[in-house]
Each structure stands twice: as structure tokens, then as C-alpha cells.
Amino acid sequence: MKTRIQELRKLHRISQEELGLAVGVTRQTITSLEGEKYTASLVLAYKIAQYFQLSIEEVFDFSQLEEM
């Protein structure tokens, strides 16, 4: 899933490690999210969005989700 995590992280000048510590995941998980290899759970998506003081939709791109 496409996200704006990397862009927002650079804007706030924080490292992957710092963001990971703030939201309770490892640096590798942030790397995977930024690389679109891993899709965050609802709880993690909420925590990341809260951290940047944005809504989940503003951080995560749901437009390419497959329809059932």
C-alpha cells in the first residue's frame, strides 16, 4: 500500500528508528511500510496518523485497494 510516511518523516526531520519507537514498532517495519512491502494494521495506521496529527486517509493511500 502506498503511504506518505517517508515524506512526512522527512518533513518532521525524524528517523525511521525514532518514528518506530514513537509508535511501538521496529525500524525494519517502518522501512517495509515505506517500501510498500508491508501493510500496517488498523491500530498501527492510527498510531502513525496520530503521530503526524493527520487522519489515516491522509497518510495511507486506499485508492488502489482491490474491490471484492
If the CB atoms of residues 1 and 21 are measured against other proteins, the closer one turns out to be 21
CB 53 within 8 A of CB 39: no
Site size with other proteins, rule: CB under 8 A:
13
Q: Tell me the CA distances in angstroms from 32 to 16, 44, 67, 68, one per residue in order.
A: 11, 13, 24, 25
> Under rule CB under 8 A, which residues in 10-49 are in contact with other proteins?
20-21, 24-26, 28-29, 32, 38, 40-41, 43-44
Query: For residue 56, what is the enclosing H or E element?
Result: helix 56-59
Residues that bind other proteins (CB under 8 A): 20-21, 24-26, 28-29, 32, 38, 40-41, 43-44
